[in-house]
Homo-oligomer: A and B are copies of this chain.
């Protein structure tokens, strides 16, 4: 491994839950809260906190709609989020495969 600054790893993505959220969202066009919760294996509260952080970083967008009169929340990666995730993977690979 050449000289490496660990801070090149994006800390917003690197949290285990946020990494799982981002990975799920990379694989689908958009996802509902319940779907994310099932895939990630997090509690409601924990998931909400991390989704909020990703939203604040503008890595995801949140859209609220109604289905059968029930509120449904959809999450989707932004272009910023997709680029950040790709850069994260690149940096991780550089770190792990010297």
Contact = CB atoms under 8 A, between A and B. Distances in A.
B95 A4 contact: no
Interface string A1-19: 1011111010100101101
Chain A contact residues, majority secondary structure: helix
B27 A98 contact: yes
Interface residues of A, number: 26
Interface of A: 1, 3-7, 9, 11, 14, 16-17, 19-20, 23-24, 27, 38-42, 89, 92, 95-96, 98
Given A4-B39, A6-B40, A19-B95, 14 more contacts: A1-B24, A3-B39, A3-B41, A4-B20, A6-B17, A6-B19, A6-B41, A6-B42, A7-B16, A14-B16, A20-B95, A23-B96, A23-B98, A89-B96
